[in-house]
Every structure is written in C-alpha cells, then in structure tokens.
C-alpha cells in the first residue's frame, strides 16, 4: 500500500473542502491522514504513523475520494464522521425511500437542506446519516443518485 | 470416533449432541452508537435479551442482517463465545496489539472498540480472500487503529515488531460449532486434527517471538480437541517458559481444560477454560491466557 501522509497544510485543504460543501468545521489533525495514488483519502489513529510494515494491505478507514472538481466523495464512514456537524447539502429521506436507497436504488428526498443540483449530498434518514449521493435533476424531477458501493448494499 | 473421544472428556455427551441454538448473538459497536440507544432501537423490531457475561453483547431472534442498524455498523453479528478472548486480553488504550489470524475481523473490531480507537492493532491474515472480509468489517466498524497485513502467521516474527498483547485465535477443526452444524461429526478426521495441531504450535511459537516482556498472549480456538488446545498451551509453557494465568469471567458457565489426554499430561490446563456448547448454548470455545 503506497501512501503519502499529509502535512498540516494539506490536511487543512481537505478540511476546507468539507467546510465549504457541508458548512461545518471538522478537525482532522487528531488523525493520521494520508492519500493513496488513486486520490483516495484515508484516516487512521495518530499512533499508526510509528509503524512500518512491508506487506501492508490496508491502514485505517477509507474516508473519501478527491474528485476532479476538487470535491470529496465521502465514504459511508466519512459521511458518518461529518454528518453530525453538517449544516448544508443534506437530503432527508423517509423510511420507504431509505429502504430503496440501502438496496442501491436512487431515492427521492422528503426535504433538502441547502442542497445544490449535481453536488454531493449527505443522505439522512431520521437521525442516521446513511450515506452519500449526488442530487440530480432530470425532466424537472429531483432525485438522489445512489453512491452506495455494491458490497455495502442490503438485498431484501 | 468423535463421540467416543468426547465421552473421554465429559459425562454429558448426549446433552452436547442434542443442544441447539435458538438465539443469534450480536455485539454493539460502541465506536458508532451506545448500547442503550441500540437496545432501544432493536427492542422495537426484535425479541432481544442481554448477554449475561458481556455488557455489549445481546441475544436476538430474527433476520438481523437486513436492518439499517446493521448496514450502518451499529452492531456486528458475532458468536457469543467468540466475544470472550478480547475480554481476557487486559487491553489498555495505548497497547500495541497483534491479532495474528484476524480474518474475518469480529475480534479485531471488538479489540478496536475496547481500546476506543487508540493504540495500534496489527490485524494479520494469510488469506487474501479472507482479508477482504476483514477490511470490510474494519471499515464498517469505523476502527481507525488497525493495520491489516498479509503475512503467513508462522513467519510473522521475522517482521521484527514486538507487541504488548497478542491474540492467536488459531485456525482449527471447529468442532465447537457442533451446536450449529451437526454435520461436523461426519467430517471429523483425526489426521486433520494432527495437521491443525502442528500449525497451531508454529503459530504460538511465532506469537511468543513477537511478544514484549510482560506481554500477554491469548490463545483460543473453537475446537473441542485437546490436541488443538491444551497441547498447544503445554507446548508454549514447556518450550518457551510461558506461564498460564487464571481467567476470571462472570455469569457464564466455564469448565477447566483437560489435564490428561491419551497418556499425556498437559501443563497449564487447569488455568485454561473450556466453554462447552451445552452449558450456555453457544459455540464451544477454548481460551488460555499466557504471560512471560
């Protein structure tokens, strides 16, 4: 696993992207933050920096991926960390739509909080952040494009 | 042959062979939710009861793999007896821990949870296929303190790292799963036990070589066979000077290890514990705590 551990300035850049998109301040300085060649961002505990192993398959958790438009596509766990503090780009969905969303289908929002079309949104059902989607508009209809990875979907 | 051997170990063989599990078990993932909140949520959907020996364990009935709580990693489906080894490791927040045969990661994520995402856990497994399940579970649990490695466990000592606590949840013949899979009796094979026993000795040797002074090794299997359990502990004590330590658990029926078997006398067996399936309606488990 080839990684680049981010310095304070680079971590600050990620915090700013998140702050801009979700209107929330997060502090990633308490983590070891690193990126892999595929632009994926990973979070691990501070102590992990001190261990070096050659046949390393994975470190910490996948937080999100930096996209070409300089936005971050958060993982479910990334969304979980941000979700409690986020104030915008939140799409609330009801139980019926959440049921669909967890299976990998697109969903309709019950309420949108500070959302922009074609932007990443945190998908929230009651008090749970259940993942991330992209808010889309097609033929005048607004929906949340599903970004749940196949391995995490529930098949009912 | 299986029954004959078990008869030499315990008197209540019939009870063992007739035991079955009505309840599934789950472990709360306190890295994501606290137990009371989860209990309240699940109470509305399932028949659920507390696990007497572990505050973060619950027994539950129903289809528990298709809930939003499971999807979000609020709980992990884990066999009740397999929640015990991490509880015995005397884990401290800043420990450097090795989980030598970690996949699929139930115990690794439990260790991360107990350490509240502090310290370091090196979660190793020889199988890439099984490592995929391990990283999936680590991701889902939100465990930030894990490094997943892919070494052959028996050579792990060559890596040169030393650890405060080591879990050797060794690959085994899994005869303790008889409560769930009766067909285990038909697949029972003495040669497989011998092969496993040889591998387990190599694994415990690797663990001993990776252990810091005053460190702890917890050795466990879900096998009922003395060759895979007490014999390995005996090997660690006689060959490397390890010492078996008393294990204290509350509200669970445990039995001591088997001291004499097929003409051999095992050291440390009286300190090791056996969880027999018929005693608590869990899978069978063997656990021993070893110190330098």
CATH number of domain containing A146: 2.30.130.10
d(CA B217, CA B164): 9
Q: Which domain holds residue A121?
A: 90-152
CA nearest to B149 within chain A: A56
Using a CB-CB distance cutoff of 8 angstroms, which residues of chain B are in contact with residue A130? Answer: 68, 71-72
CB-nearest to A128 from B68, B140, B150 is B68
Rounded to 10°, the helix B128-141/B106-114 angle is: 30
CB-nearest to A80 from B94, B138, B142 is B142
- Residue by residue, DSSP assigns A33-53 as EEEETTSEEEEEEGGGGG---
Domain shared by A116 and A47, yes or no: no
Domain shared by A43 and A70, yes or no: yes
Reported in sequence order, the residue ranges of chain A that DSSP labels E, i.e. its strands, are 3-5, 31-36, 40-45, 56-59, 61-66, 72-74, 90-92, 111-113, 120-125, 128-138, 141-146
Domain shared by A51 and A102, yes or no: no
Average of per-residue pLDDT across A69-81 = 94
Domain shared by A14 and A33, yes or no: yes
* Domain map (residue ranges) of chain B: 80-291
B101 is catalytic: no
d(CA B57, CA B51): 5
Domain shared by A71 and A126, yes or no: no
Q: Which of A27, A59, A83 is the last residue of a domain?
A: A83
Given an 8 Å threshold on Cβ–Cβ distance, is A60 in contact with B144?
yes
Longest dimension (CA), chain B: 55
Tell me how far CA of residue A91 lies from CA of A112, A113, A135, in angstroms.
Answer: 5, 6, 8
Minimal CA separation from A156 to chain B, in Å: 7
Q: How many CB pairs under 8 A join A and B?
A: 89
pLDDT at A1 over 90: no
In this structure, chain A runs to a length of 156
Domain shared by A129 and A66, yes or no: no
User: Cβ distance B198 to B227 under 8 Å?
Assistant: no
Domain shared by A98 and A78, yes or no: no
pLDDT at A103 over 80: yes
Cis-peptide, bond into residue B248, ω within 30° of zero? no
| pLDDT-above-90 percentage for chain B | 96
Task: Decide if B113 touches A, using CB distance below 8 A.
Answer: no
The CATH number linked to A60 is 3.10.450.220
CB-nearest to A57 from B68, B73, B135 is B135
Q: Which of B101, B146, B172, B222 is catalytic?
A: B222
Strands B163-169 and B211-221: parallel
Domain shared by A52 and A96, yes or no: no
d(CA B23, CA B257): 26
Average of per-residue pLDDT across B78-85 = 98
pLDDT band at A17 (very low <50, low <70, confident <90, very high): very high
Please write the tens of the pLDDT for every residue from B242-258: 999 999 999 999 999 99
Task: Decide if A43 touches B, using CB distance below 8 A.
Answer: yes
Cβ-based neighbour number of residue A66 at 10 Å:
17
Taking all residues of chain B, what is their mean pLDDT, rounded to a whole number? 97
CB-nearest to A102 from B71, B148, B150 is B71
Q: Which of A35, A63, A83 is the last residue of a domain?
A: A83
How many distinct structural domains can be found in chain A? 2
pLDDT of residue B194: 97
User: Cβ distance B110 to B80 under 8 Å?
Assistant: no
User: Cβ distance B164 to B95 under 8 Å?
Assistant: yes
pLDDT at A108 over 80: yes
Residues 6+ apart with CB under 8 A from B39: B28, B48, B58
pLDDT band at B182 (very low <50, low <70, confident <90, very high): confident
Domain shared by A99 and A53, yes or no: no
pLDDT at A30 over 80: yes
Exposed, middle or buried: residue A138 (CB in 10 Å: 0-12, 13-18, 19+)? exposed
Please write the tens of the pLDDT for every residue from B27-66: 999 999 999 999 999 999 999 999 999 999 999 999 999 9
Of B267, B71, B269, B188, nearest to A125 by C-alpha is: B71
Average of per-residue pLDDT across B90-104 = 97
Minimal CA separation from A90 to chain B, in Å: 18
Q: Which of A83, A111, A141 is the last residue of a domain?
A: A83
Strands B120-124 and B96-99: parallel
Exposed, middle or buried: residue B85 (CB in 10 Å: 0-12, 13-18, 19+)? buried
Domain shared by A115 and A146, yes or no: yes
Q: If one looks up domain B80-291 in CATH, what number appears?
A: 3.40.50.150
Minimal CA separation from A140 to chain B, in Å: 30
Domain shared by A57 and A109, yes or no: no
B-facing residues of A in 98-127 (CB < 8 A) are 98, 102, 125
Of B282, B228, B290, nearest to B82 by C-alpha is: B282
What is the value of pTM for the model shown? Answer: 0.96
Please write the tens of the pLDDT for every residue from B218-236: 999 999 999 999 999 999 9
Given an 8 Å threshold on Cβ–Cβ distance, is A51 in contact with B149?
no
Given an 8 Å threshold on Cβ–Cβ distance, is B147 in contact with A154?
no
Longest dimension (CA), chain A: 53
pLDDT of residue B174: 95
Domain shared by A100 and A30, yes or no: no
Residue B254, token pair as written in the block: 């445990």
């Amino acid at each position: 696993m080839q990684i680049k551990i981010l310095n304070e300035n680079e971590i600050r850049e990620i915090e700013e992207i998140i702050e801009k998109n979700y209107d929330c301040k997060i502090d990633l300085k308490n983590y070891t933050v690193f990126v892999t060649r595929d632009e994926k961002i990973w979070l691990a505990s501070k102590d992990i920096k001190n261990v070096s192993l050659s046949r390393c398959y994975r470190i910490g958790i996948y937080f999100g991926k930096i996209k070409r438009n300089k936005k971050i596509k958060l993982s479910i766990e990334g969304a979980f960390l941000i979700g409690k503090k986020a104030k915008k780009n939140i799409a609330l969905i009801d139980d019926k739509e959440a049921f669909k969303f967890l299976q990998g289908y697109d969903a309709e929002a019950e309420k949108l909080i500070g959302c922009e079309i074609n932007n990443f949104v945190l998908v929230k059902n009651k008090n749970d952040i259940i993942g991330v989607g992209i808010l889309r508009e097609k033929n005048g209809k607004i929906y949340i494009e599903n970004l749940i990875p196949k391995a995490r979907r529930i098949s009912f | 042959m299986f029954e004959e051997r078990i008869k030499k170990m315990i008197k209540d063989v019939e009870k063992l062979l007739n035991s079955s599990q009505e309840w599934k078990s789950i472990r709360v993932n306190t890295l994501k939710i606290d137990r009371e909140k989860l209990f309240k949520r699940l109470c509305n959907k399932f028949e659920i009861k507390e696990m007497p020996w572990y505050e973060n364990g619950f027994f539950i009935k129903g289809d528990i793999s298709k809930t939003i709580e499971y999807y979000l990693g609020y709980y992990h489906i884990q066999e009740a007896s397999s929640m015990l080894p991490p509880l015995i490791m005397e884990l401290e927040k800043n420990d450097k821990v090795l989980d030598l045969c970690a996949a699929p990661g139930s115990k690794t994520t439990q260790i991360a949870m107990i350490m509240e995402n502090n310290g370091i856990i090196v979660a190793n497994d020889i199988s890439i296929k099984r490592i995929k399940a391990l990283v999936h579970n680590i991701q889902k649990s939100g465990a930030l303190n894990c490094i997943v490695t892919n070494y052959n466990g028996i050579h792990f000592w060559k890596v040169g790292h030393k650890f405060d606590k080591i879990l050797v949840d060794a690959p085994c013949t899994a005869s303790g799963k008889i409560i769930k899979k009766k067909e285990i009796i038909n697949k029972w094979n003495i040669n497989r036990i011998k092969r496993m026993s040889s591998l387990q000795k190599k694994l415990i040797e690797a663990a001993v070589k990776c252990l810091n002074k005053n460190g702890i090794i917890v050795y466990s299997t879900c096998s009922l066979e003395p060759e895979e359990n007490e014999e390995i502990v005996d090997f660690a004590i006689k060959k490397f000077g390890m010492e078996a330590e008393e294990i204290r658990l509350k509200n669970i029926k445990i039995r001591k290890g088997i001291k004499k078997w097929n003409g051999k006398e095992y050291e440390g067996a009286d300190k090791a514990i056996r969880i027999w399936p018929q005693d608590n309606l869990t899978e069978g488990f063997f656990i021993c705590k070893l110190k330098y």
